[in-house]
Amino acid sequence: MNAPPGTHVVILGGGFAGLYAAKALRSASVKVTVVDRRNHHLFQPMLYQVATAALSPGDIASPIRSILRGQPNVEVVLGEAQSVDLADRRVRVDSSSLSYDYLIVATGARHSYFGHEEWEMLAPGLKSIEDALEIRRRILLAFEGAERRPDPGQRKSLLTFVVVGGGPTGVEVAGALAEIRRYALRRDFRHIDSREASVLLLEGGPRLLSSYPESLSMAAMRALRRLGVEVRTGAFVDGITHNGVSVGGTHIPTKTVVWAAGNLASPLLRSLGAPLDHQGRVVVGEDCTVPGHPEVFVLGDAACFDHQEGGPLPGLSPVAIQMGRYAAKTIRRDLAGRARRPFHYRDKGQLAVIGRGRAVADIGRLHFSGFFAWLTWIFVHIFFLIGFRNRIIVLMEWAWSYFTFQHGARLITGEGDHRGLVTRRPT
Amino acid sequence: MNAPPGTHVVILGGGFAGLYAAKALRSASVKVTVVDRRNHHLFQPMLYQVATAALSPGDIASPIRSILRGQPNVEVVLGEAQSVDLADRRVRVDSSSLSYDYLIVATGARHSYFGHEEWEMLAPGLKSIEDALEIRRRILLAFEGAERRPDPGQRKSLLTFVVVGGGPTGVEVAGALAEIRRYALRRDFRHIDSREASVLLLEGGPRLLSSYPESLSMAAMRALRRLGVEVRTGAFVDGITHNGVSVGGTHIPTKTVVWAAGNLASPLLRSLGAPLDHQGRVVVGEDCTVPGHPEVFVLGDAACFDHQEGGPLPGLSPVAIQMGRYAAKTIRRDLAGRARRPFHYRDKGQLAVIGRGRAVADIGRLHFSGFFAWLTWIFVHIFFLIGFRNRIIVLMEWAWSYFTFQHGARLITGEGDHRGLVTRRPT
């Protein structure tokens, strides 16, 4: 496919896929417009650390404008893409519209509640900074509430934290919760012992971290249990109310539920008229484009790419990064009149942290867990944290909390009543 | 006044006065309960740095529980004091009540809109973290809006920032705004030049910083003008709408107004039945207590203390800190059977920052301005920042932004539409 000079590439979404595509188009003779409804790129793999009060939002997010400021061919638009008109090659962004020669759709995913959208208010997921602050709020308020309530039943339900979903996010949240309870909050209260709080991790499948080798699932389970997390596999949630979670007929009284169970890709994708998979992702071709539309790429969590062994690629940042770079490269090949090559994901492995100084790593043929896996995690994540400043500050925060067991960002902010435990959720 | 063993001191408010009172009661044989509706102590003198995206909320706030965790005679209650029953010696906190032997009321102040409460939504003040995040949101969204709007009139009104009130907060916000526009945002936009943004500082009185010596008011004015701030004195705001501010009949089109003009003490004080001044503060006796109630202290911004030369003490953190320590000392004297001594404020001076590397200082007989005043400010403020961790992190953030001109916390978060410029305000 040949494109005229003055080619306009519109990128929807400033996450990993969109950002790396924009960066990789730096020296291409194209005009790039990045559209995002947030002004910041979020380093999502560390979002659970904001939810558990270890880091501040500013530590893991940077304005997209600043990241791309040195790239003269890029313009950043704060706005929400509403729909795509494939025939006209236009995207509606709020009340205006943008025409494109190439479109890169990298709008990510929200949570799926499997048809129970009413659970969202009761069990927030963890995708945005607002989500993380809301979860932080609820966790801290539950301890505050327990401190004030003499009734043992109420107290117990306030001190029970349920995490639904045993993927990496669920494992990381449960591990961090187990630790904050043991260390950071330990001496803060007078009427409760924060160590008595219980953390439950519920997974519907037979094991945690189902995308990892089984030995690492077992290692994660053992590590979580050592931290005092109650792990239940084969546990399907069939109801969530203000008072608790019901699992296979059993009622678990709790006031704090974190949802880490399923993804649903952005609703914008429906306007592409392409086949979607059960997670709402576009089933893309070998070159990550919409069938019949070589000018429209769908990347990252928005894409169902099923052309490699092992089923569709998982929703991981390395996948998104490689796809972003691939799309940019493909556009440059087009412009140079060279044939496209199919996308091939080079598996860089996966890592999940289980509390302080412990992780599991699945890197090629290497499967390992423990302190060394944790150091690997630190190294990889700090390395990829976008923006030099953030890296230093985050390292300092970590060093501080590692050596002192303290979590530095334990603020309860935002709307809502400090007395109520379920409040309106920022959107 | 003699108190029985097991004396209970209830402190309302975990600001400077309340916190220092609690700390100074560390070794007294009393039980102390600190009540605050927030879980954090806020270092208010640096709040404008959160509003102008230089610091994150976590940098200038610490959980009250953590600050006081090592003090076994202190209990912290997250709750809002509703009213005081002086006869019964009880405070209603949410739906329960606490009885006290001594009560320390240090509930601070909110903004006064001089009877125009409808302006609050349009021109938020700067007292809490939520306030600061809302102002940060509005400032950053105004630049985003201007970038997207081709109409020069709309663009100009979006790029006009009005600060009402020429006290220290107003001066600091205006200076920081002038700088973020010049440096931090300079290369981020494609359609606007952030340096074209105008910053207006409106002061009703004849000069800025009216509590400072006149020479420093002049120095502040000159420094602000050098930064490109338009300073208008004798300028009374007589109207604020979504489209602008009207000042003495002139209409200034703007979408962003910051209110730093007047204080109104907490409404709880009315339930004390004591005389209040025009700012709603309790007119306290020489020992900072309510007339006729030697067991009830009113401190900090909640108190009108008019027993020293120069009129009532100003609403500054050193006043609050000294009052807090004084109240604790007085309680200990009571318990020891010794006579009370009147409170005497030892003036430690005042400091206000005007942008990067510039401040004015009024310390005893020394009045100076410029870089040395700024270094003094840094030193004093870092020194008083509660919590060792915060000091280091904040120093690093400062060093970073000083040498790179970058502001690290430029995130737009929170509720509301990214397209609208006036949004619901968190409470």
Yes or no, beta carbons of A56 and B61 under 8 Å apart: no
pLDDT tens by residue, A305-338: 999 988 899 998 999 999 999 999 999 999 999 9
For residues A33-61, one letter each, b for 16 or more C-beta atoms within 10 angstroms of the residue's C-beta and e for the rest, the string is: bbbbbbbbbbbbbbbbbbbbbbbbbbbbb
- pTM for this entry: 0.87
Cβ proximity of B22 and B68 under 8 Å: yes
- What are the start-end ranges of the H helices in B309-352? 317-335
Searching chain B, which residue's CA lies closest to the CA of residue A403? B389
Query: Considering only residues 261 to 320 of chain A, which have any Cβ-Cβ distance to chain B shorter than 8 Å?
Result: none
Residues 127-146 of B with CB under 8 A from A: 129-130, 133, 140-141, 144
User: Nearest-CA neighbor of A385 among A110, A134, A47, A51?
Assistant: A47
Residues 73-112 of B with CB under 8 A from A: 75-80, 94
Q: Does B8 touch chain A (CB under 8 A)?
A: no
| Euclidean distance between CA atoms A288 and A303, whole angstroms | 8
More confident residue, A403 or A417: A403
Q: How far is A186 from chain B (nearest CA, A)?
A: 9
CA B229/CA B250 separation, integer angstroms: 18
Note whether ipTM > 0.85 here: no
> Which H/E stretch holds residue A6?
none
| Cβ atoms A360, A351 nearer than 8 A | yes
Task: Identify the pLDDT of residue B242.
Answer: 94
Handedness of CA A176, A178, A184, A188 (dihedral sign): positive
Q: Determine contact: B418 vs chain A, CB below 8 A.
A: yes
CB contact at 8 A, A177 and A139: yes
Active-site hit among A134, A144, A172, A203: A172
Question: Residues in chain B with pLDDT < 50?
Answer: 1-3, 416-427
Are the C-beta atoms of A274 and A283 separated by less than 8 Å?
yes
Give percent above pLDDT 70 in chain B.
89
pLDDT tier for residue A422 given thresholds of 50, 70 and 90: very low
Contacts of A130 in chain B (CB under 8 A): 413-415
For tokens 């006036």, what's the residue? Answer: B422
SS3 content of chain B, % helix, strand, coil (to 5): 35, 25, 40
- Spatial distance between the Cα atoms of B381 and B361, rounded to a whole number of angstroms: 13
Is the CB of residue B94 less than 8 Å from the CB of residue B79?
yes
- Say how far apart CA A355 and CA A350 lie, in whole Å: 16
Q: Do A415 and B415 touch (CB under 8 A)?
A: yes
> Does A39 touch chain B if contact means CB atoms closer than 8 Å?
yes
Q: Which of B37, B71, B78 has the most A C-beta neighbours within 10 Å, making it the best mutation to test the interface with A?
A: B78
Mean per-residue pLDDT of chain A: 88
| C-beta atoms of B396 and A392 within 8 A | yes
Give the CA-trace dihedral at A246, A252, A256, A258, to 10 degrees: -50
Annotated catalytic residues of B are: 172
* Residue B403 touches partner A, C-beta closer than 8 Å: no
Judge contact between B230 and B250, C-beta under 8 A. no
| Pairs of residues, one from chain A and one from chain B, whose beta carbons lie less than 8 Å apart | 140
Decide if B226 touches A, using CB distance below 8 A.
Answer: no
pLDDT band at A386 (very low <50, low <70, confident <90, very high): low
The first and second tokens of residue A297, run together, are: 């790429």
Min CA distance, A366 vs chain B (Å)? 37
The Cβ of residue B341 has, within 10 Å, a number of other Cβ atoms equal to 12
pLDDT at B424: 31
A contact test, residue of B56, B77, B398 with most A CBs within 10 A: B56
pLDDT digits (tens, 9 = 90+) for B130-176: 999 999 999 999 999 999 888 999 999 999 999 999 999 999 999 99
Which of B 335-364 lie inside 8 A of A, CB atoms?
none
**Whose CA is closest to A137, among B426, B89, B272?**
B426
Please check whether residue A22 touches B, CB under 8 A.
no
State pLDDT tens for residues A121-130: 999 999 999 9
Q: Is B58 on the interface with A (CB under 8 A)?
A: yes
Instruction: Tell me the one-letter amino acid at B414.
Output: G
Q: Does the pLDDT at position A292 exceed 80? A: yes
Distances (CA, A) of A239 to A39, A119, A123, A256, B126: 36, 8, 11, 14, 42
Least confident of A161-170, A205-214, A414-423, B356-365: A414-423
β-pairing verdict for B359-363 and B350-353: antiparallel
CB contact under 8 A, B56 and A59: yes
Tell me which chain A residue has its CA closest to the CA of residue B187: A69
φ/ψ of residue A328, rounded to 5: -60, -45
- The shortest CB-CB distance from B56 to any of A56, A80, A400 is to A56
Can you tell me whether residue B285 is helix, strand or coil? coil
* Residue B419 burial class via C-beta count within 10 angstroms: exposed 0-12, middle 13-18, buried 19 and up: middle
Nearest CA in chain B to A69: B188
B31 touches chain A (CB under 8 A): no
**In this structure, are residues A39 and B140 in contact, taking their beta carbons and an 8 Å threshold?**
yes
The chain B residue lying nearest A399, using CA atoms, is: B389
Residue type, B54: A
- pLDDT above 90: percentage of residues in chain A: 66
Question: pLDDT by residue (tens digit) across A253-282?
Answer: 999 999 999 889 999 999 999 999 999 999
Q: Residue A215: what residue type? A: S
Nearest beta carbon to residue A78 from set B39, B80, B418? B418
Nearest CA in chain A to B39: A412
Task: Say how far apart CA B388 and CA B284 lie, in whole Å.
Answer: 34
Contacts of B393 in chain A (CB under 8 A): 393, 396-397, 408
